[in-house]
Amino acid sequence: MKYFDTHCHLDFQQFEIDRDYVIKRAKQENVEYILNVGTGIESSRKVIEISEKYDFIYASCGIHPLDVSDYKIEDLKEIEKLVRNKKVIAIGETGLDYYYSKENKEKQKDFFIAQVEIAGKYNLPLIIHQRESKNDLIEIIERIKLPEKIVFHCFGGDIELAQYCKEKNFYISFTGILTFKNAKNVKEVVKIYPIEKIMVETDAPFLTPHPFRGKRNEPFMVKYIIQEIKNLKNMEKVDDIIFNNSLKFFNLGGDG
Ligand SMILES: [Zn+2]
């Protein structure tokens, strides 16, 4: 079995003391690829630095909607410089988050649109973060030119948004939330979403899956999310399909 943790934050200070050990353990548990996702400029630099130390770790660069308050729109020029590094395989995370921050909606939108453009210009997949911002996000998606590949990361339990993503041929990726007993709605999304468009991620250090809930999340735990998808879909070869979807999405030598 091979796994791909398509979204985590090993650059965060929660991994400062034992980062190398966490990475080694992931590899031992068959995590063959890790995508470390930047949330700001410093963070994007750091995920590149980590990716240069390990050949199976890649980087995504971007400014998270909850971090836009620290930056000016011109700062995205720095992100543009960073994406020229060959270990950078995606743009993000970017998007809109009105759950934690609704005072700066317009600024979040500007940063999102600008990062969509960078993804288009460099022909890179885009990682979208969405929380309580569905209508504004759809409004923007409908009027601007999008890059070829889009994933809604940490997909929540919104069936309506799932239907929209399905029509648009977007990928969605699931976190440890899926393993929680009370995550009924998100389990329904798994059932209706085409398996060819599903990926998994830990979003470590956050959202630790059952049975490790309460502990710090790590990439090796990604298999518990896949197990839950297997149970819900009641399908063979779910592991291989999800692994290949991820290679294909991030242009890492999958079958297209
Ligand atoms: Zn994240």
**How does pLDDT run across 22-42, given as a tens digit for each residue?**
999 999 999 999 999 999 999
User: What are the backbone dihedrals phi and psi of residue 154, each rounded to the nearest 5 degrees, phi first?
Assistant: 45, 60
Helix (H) or strand (E) holding 129: strand 126-131
pLDDT-derived band at 92 (thresholds 50, 70, 90) equals very high
pLDDT at 254 over 60: no
Token digits of residue 70: 């620290």
Q: In the prediction, which pLDDT does 170 show?
A: 98
pTM for the full predicted model: 0.96
Ligand 1 mean position, distance from CA 216 (Å): 14
Ligand 1 mean position, distance from CA 9 (Å): 7
Token digits of residue 238: 């779910």
| 58 alpha-carbon distance from chain centroid | 12
Ligand 1 mean position, distance from CA 169 (Å): 22
pLDDT-derived band at 16 (thresholds 50, 70, 90) equals very high
pLDDT tens per residue across span 190-235: 999 999 999 999 999 999 999 999 999 999 999 999 999 999 999 9
Q: In the prediction, which pLDDT does 101 show?
A: 83
- Integer Cα distance of 190 and 167 in angstroms: 15
CA angle at 84 for the pair 80 and 86, rounded to the nearest 5°? 145
pLDDT-derived band at 56 (thresholds 50, 70, 90) equals very high
Ligand 1 mean position, distance from CA 36 (Å): 9
pLDDT-derived band at 256 (thresholds 50, 70, 90) equals very low
Which residues line ion ligand 1, judged by CB < 5 Å?
203
CA angle at 157 for the pair 213 and 164, rounded to the nearest 5°? 145
Query: 252 to each of 1, 20, 58, how far by Cα in Å?
Result: 18, 23, 10
Q: In the prediction, which pLDDT does 253 show?
A: 77
Q: In the prediction, which pLDDT does 255 show?
A: 47
Residue 156: CB atoms within 10 Å: 19
Q: In the prediction, which pLDDT does 157 show?
A: 85
Place of tokens 């909606």: 105
Ligand 1 mean position, distance from CA 236 (Å): 29
Kindly state the greatest CA–CA separation across the chain: 48
What is the rounded average pLDDT for all residues in the chain? 96
Ligand 1 mean position, distance from CA 32 (Å): 19
Ligand 1 mean position, distance from CA 76 (Å): 19
In the chain, the percentage of residues whose pLDDT exceeds 70 is: 99
Ligand 1 mean position, distance from CA 222 (Å): 14
Q: In the prediction, which pLDDT does 219 show?
A: 98
Query: 125 to each of 104, 106, 134, 150, 229, how far by Cα in Å?
Result: 26, 24, 20, 6, 23
pLDDT tens per residue across span 156-194: 989 999 999 999 999 999 999 999 999 999 999 999 999
Query: What is the 8-class DSSP label of residue 195?
Result: G
